[in-house]
Amino acid sequence: MGKHSPLAHTPIMKEETVSYLLTDLSGIYVDCTLGAGGHTEAILKALNPQGRLIGIDRDQRAITNFRRHFARYLSRVTLFHSRHALLGDLLKGEGIFHVHGVLFDLGLASFQIDEPGRGFSYLHDGPLDMRVDSSQHITAETVVNEYGEGDLARVIREYGEEPSWRRVARAIVRARLRGSIETTFQLAEIVRRNIPRAHVIKSLSRVFQAIRVEVNGELEELRQGLEVAVAFLKPGGRLVVICYQSLEDRAVKSLFWRLSGVCQCPKNLPQCVCSPRKDLQVLTRRAVRPTAQERERNPRARSARLRAAQKMGS
């Protein structure tokens, strides 16, 4: 990790997360996004010695860092280098069929964003990588240099919600005719040259987000992981999700609405025909946001939104 310590990462809404998540201090909990370990440590501190935690992350460095910096907890933690969608298989492999709570903290850890070699940020020059799991094949360079203009435009429009998606995709295709686009600064310069100055920062964020989401299949992983989490929650168990961008938040809200008995039928139908399931009770009518003090201390908290739900049943 070089000079980047996971301890530099500040977990967002730590107290709120623990408060919503924990219902049984001797229970089994899952942190699906181990990251720098801040939320994981807070959960373990709150649990009784009998409490157990399953920690999952697609980034092997997160697993390694946790073992190094939080060794005192390892007797109560099982760690997996894996994906959200495989949560069910991981739990069954441990002989676990019900858990008391599941947490998803969907933001990148500071050590990932700030390391130039990972290629996540337009603020640092580095290779166009953007892989959370460095063992996977597809990288941002693959997307930028090999996707056709139509597919590039789709990615930027759907995953970045960038208003100038067509112009940016066309500019990338034109630029790569002169040679491969290999670095974050090269990509950022293409965006800058094709976006009005007043909108450049937001457009850069959107384009980089879009490519990262595509590289890592983030939305599909999230949807699958949420479904599995609900299936493995015991009655009264909690699902807590912290989102940092609107695409993720919409996916969470959609699942919460659908599984809390809210009809999904078109409004013009005279009666409900979708027979909505009522598996969840939503605990956060509106998303919980960081306090003004936390946002001032940690600018990366500004976009965070926490939603929580409880599994129905007795």
Three-state SS string across 25-51, please? CCCEEEECCCCCCHHHHHHHHHCCCCC
Tokens 């990366």 sit on residue: 300
Q: What residues does CATH 1.10.150.170 cover in the chain?
A: 115-216
Q: Which two tokens stand for residue 119?
A: 């290629």
Ordered per-residue pLDDT tens for the chain, 314 residues: 344 444 456 799 999 999 999 999 999 999 999 998 999 999 999 999 999 999 999 999 999 999 999 999 999 999 999 998 999 999 999 999 999 999 999 978 778 888 888 999 999 999 999 999 999 999 999 999 999 999 999 999 999 999 999 999 999 999 999 999 999 999 999 999 999 999 999 999 999 999 999 999 999 999 999 999 999 999 999 999 999 999 999 999 999 999 998 877 777 787 777 777 789 999 999 999 999 999 999 888 999 999 999 999 75
Q: 3-state class of 177 per DSSP? A: coil
Phi, psi of 83, deg, nearest 5: -110, 160
Q: Which residues contact 292 (CB under 8 A, 6 or more apart)?
A: none
- What's residue 314's pLDDT? 58
CB atoms within 10 A of CB 194: 18
Q: Would you say domain 6-111+219-311 falls under CATH 3.40.50.150? A: yes
Architecture label for domain 115-216: Orthogonal Bundle (1.10)
